[in-house]
Chain A
């Protein structure tokens, strides 16, 4: 039974920008803001995990393969109770273990080190196969980006997962449509990204990645475990929730000044000074 409940995406987004502003450094914002509903529904309704017992041996494993979106992930872990606000405040400060990419640290709920794109699905596939070989009823969820899907290694693992018919591995692709340099034209001028996954033999659900009911329905099916592998191709808005960041790739990686924070707070309804 899952006892966690979804978080408030609005609250998560406010914490993302506040934390980014506090550290005073540039942070990856756009791709953190775009995946919040996906993580909220996953951690709230499907992933078996215990924030008060991060090393629970029957837990599912989440891997943030699009590692640069870590700030969204850290905020979600914080809101689920893995660590407190003070810990979150160490983000991108000297000597912190909370930096611009995840560093595997199970006591904090961080299950793998990432940052080099295109590697999380391979690692997750290995863990999923291992769970099956151990006879464990556990699942692996891997969050990727559509930019990340430019990496060839993604397709090496996608093909093997399909060949093996792995049923306890669920991939999510946060299709926010941008990569570092701008529009991800590989899947607009080139092949349709959902078709590519279908071509690799995956069960594909295409959803609006900000519609929690639609995400829930897709995960209901993906986590059933009777067939696989499953991928949820979620169409999202990069920078979602902050009007001037939406679909504006200037906020892929950028610094939030005090003045910008004021604008955001005015728009979002004030800071939550807890």
Chain B
């Protein structure tokens, strides 16, 4: 395991989420010949270029054929390999969704399907490449674990945790280059166990993925107003950490913030959970992308336009808090 430090965190943030994925997987594969990387011809876009050259026996480019990539990955996973298969989020979660359903769901083959550039990270590539529905689609598959790492350091943690993890996982990578830094020192990571980045208060944010970095900044601004906000990193979107939600429900206000359509994402998952398992629900406000195709621009513009950068999250929360 490479050390999580301020220096490394800065370096990873600079090279970005996708390159960090490739770098982290290379580091793991170097020590573990059982790790295989598959890519539907997006090796160069996911930092796997070097991987494919240094470990050619552990890499397969399936061609631009995501359905086949998932099927082949399932066969390899059945043979006991730790398979990490990656492509852009909509192609992983929707083009190949039925292969995911049959192979990773129905047959429970423990493939680790890595969704690159999810959320709005693909910027000018447009809605065809955005991953705004993937959590909603993947959540419906029984037995599939869904994880969205908060930052580059957590990508390392998640990949390490997934090696030898005998269940299928959908790993949702949001964020791009200059990804917000959440972690600058070592910490314990466990699949399914949410992490309080800031201790619970009367107002709590629950989020996942690189959106957390923006939430931290929004919370800083609220702290200056005299409002302390608890922040929960719900990196494992499925299964949810029921204990952490129970703790969060002690708050007067809960905000769920996600770079995803509000239909079927983390907010929906938490509302479903609370509705099913708790008699009273604190007031939960969900914030994400509306039910529409979004405008196109660079990543910071998209986050701003969709109020998912720190300022937008802050404005959303202030609006709801004022109406309370």
Q: Which A residues form the contact surface with B (CB < 8 A)?
A: 104, 112-116, 118-119, 121-131, 133-134, 152-153, 156-157, 159-160, 163
Contacts and interface: CB of A to CB of B under 8 A. Distances in A.
Nearest to A118: B67
A122 B67 contact: yes
A113 B106 contact: yes
A112 B107 contact: yes
B81 A130 contact: yes
Interface in B89-143: 98-99, 102-103, 106-107
Interface residues of B, number: 25
A210 B107 CA distance: 32
B78 A113 contact: no
B57 interface: yes
A119 B103 contact: yes
Nearest to B72: A126
Contacts of A124: 75
A115 B101 CA distance: 12
Given A113-B106, A160-B63, A119 B71 contact: yes
B209 to A, nearest CB: 29
B75 A129 contact: yes
Contacts of B65: 153, 156-157, 159-160
A153 B107 contact: no
B142 to A, nearest CB: 13
19 contacts: A113-B102, A113-B107, A116-B98, A122-B70, A122-B72, A122-B74, A123-B78, A123-B103, A125-B68, A125-B75, A126-B77, A126-B79, A152-B67, A153-B67, A153-B68, A156-B68, A157-B71, A159-B63, A160-B62
Interface in B228-279: none
B102 A126 contact: no
Contact of A127 (B68, B70, B79, B98): B79
Contact of A153 (B76, B78, B81, B99): B99
B207 interface: no
Contact of B57 (A119, A123, A133): A133
A126 B73 contact: yes
B107 A160 contact: no
Contact of B68 (A113, A114, A157): A157
Given A156-B65, A160-B68, A128 B75 contact: yes
A157 B68 CA distance: 6
A130 B62 contact: no
Contacts of A112: 107
B141 to A, nearest CB: 13
B295 to A, nearest CB: 32
Contacts of B57: 133
A157 B72 CA distance: 8
B70 A130 contact: no
A133 to B, nearest CB: 7
B4 interface: no
Given A134-B79, A157-B72, 9 more contacts: A104-B107, A116-B98, A118-B67, A122-B74, A125-B72, A126-B72, A126-B75, A153-B71, A157-B65
Nearest to A130: B79
B74 A123 contact: yes
B290 interface: no
Nearest to B111: A126
Nearest to B38: A126
B196 to A, nearest CB: 40
Given A104-B107, A119-B71, A153-B68, A127 B63 contact: no
Contacts of B75: 122-130
Interface in B27-82: 57, 60, 62-63, 65, 67-68, 70-81
A152 B66 CA distance: 11
Given A113-B107, A129-B76, A130-B78, A122 B60 contact: no
A115 to B, nearest CB: 8
Given A130-B78, A130-B81, A122 B68 contact: yes
Centre residue among B63, B70, B71, B99 by max chain A CB count within 10 A: B71
B81 A122 contact: no
B103 A130 contact: no
Nearest to A158: B68
A129 B107 contact: no
Nearest to A163: B63
Nearest to A63: B75
A129 B62 CA distance: 12
B75 to A, nearest CB: 2
4 closest pairs, A vs B, by CB?
A126-B75, A122-B71, A130-B79, A156-B68
Contacts of A104: 106-107
Given A104-B107, A133-B57, A123 B80 contact: no
Contacts of A126: 71-79
Contacts of B68: 122, 125, 153, 156-157, 160
Contacts of A156: 62-63, 65, 67-68
A129 B36 CA distance: 12
A133 B75 CA distance: 12
B72 A160 contact: yes
A116 B100 CA distance: 12
